[in-house]
Homo-oligomer: A and B are copies of this chain.
Amino acid sequence: MNNQLIDEPASVFTEQIIKQVLQSWISQNRAVTSFFNKYSDDAYLNEVAPGRNRAIYLLGHLTATNDALLPLLGLGEKLFPELEAPFIINADDKAVGDIPSVTELKQCWEVINTTLTAHFSKMRAHDWLDRHTKVSAADFANEPLRNKLNVLLGRTNHQSYHLGQLNFLKEK
């Protein structure tokens, strides 16, 4: 942790900005949730566009990515480590075998997001500006932007990115 940052009192500005960044993450997170509550489960077995990933696969990918935030932000172990192999390591819908059902993935999605939101609500500005667990203290001293806030901003964009693709899905 950078001592200069610990010593700096969080201002009204700072807390409001953090709140807004968090709100941006939540808004994209909820948009994904709404998308997967829009149709019957069967609809999500379709590819979002011809030859592209199925919606169910993108749900698994987004769930596994959000789950990975727990260890990356130092908040604990993954809740669903079994999702990593099919949805992050492979990253190719056509290459994976059996995957959980839409219902099961939606449950995982809800649990991980509720867990993250509970952790995020307790984090203050200095927590967000601290290093994430994939960067060493030595590297962080040289690259102070490799912090938890940077991870959150990146994952917010990641949710938007796949949401744009999901919205190409046709129901039938």
| Chain A contacts to B: CB under 8 angstroms | 4-5, 8-14, 16-21, 23-24, 27-28, 49-50, 52, 125-126, 128-129, 144-145, 147, 149-150, 153-154, 156-158, 160-165, 168
- List the B side residues contacting A16 at CB < 8 Å: 129, 144-145
CB distance from A151 to the nearest CB of B (A): 11
Question: How many monomers of this protein are in the complex?
Answer: 2
State which of B4, B9, B18, B49 has its C-beta within 8 Å of the C-beta of A168.
B49
A interface, over-half SS: helix
- List the B side residues contacting A158 at CB < 8 Å: 160
CB distance from A58 to the nearest CB of B (A): 10
Q: Once the chains are docked, how many angstroms separate the CA of A12 from the CA of B126?
A: 11
CB distance from A130 to the nearest CB of B (A): 12
State which of B10, B12, B126, B153 has its C-beta within 8 Å of the C-beta of A21.
B153
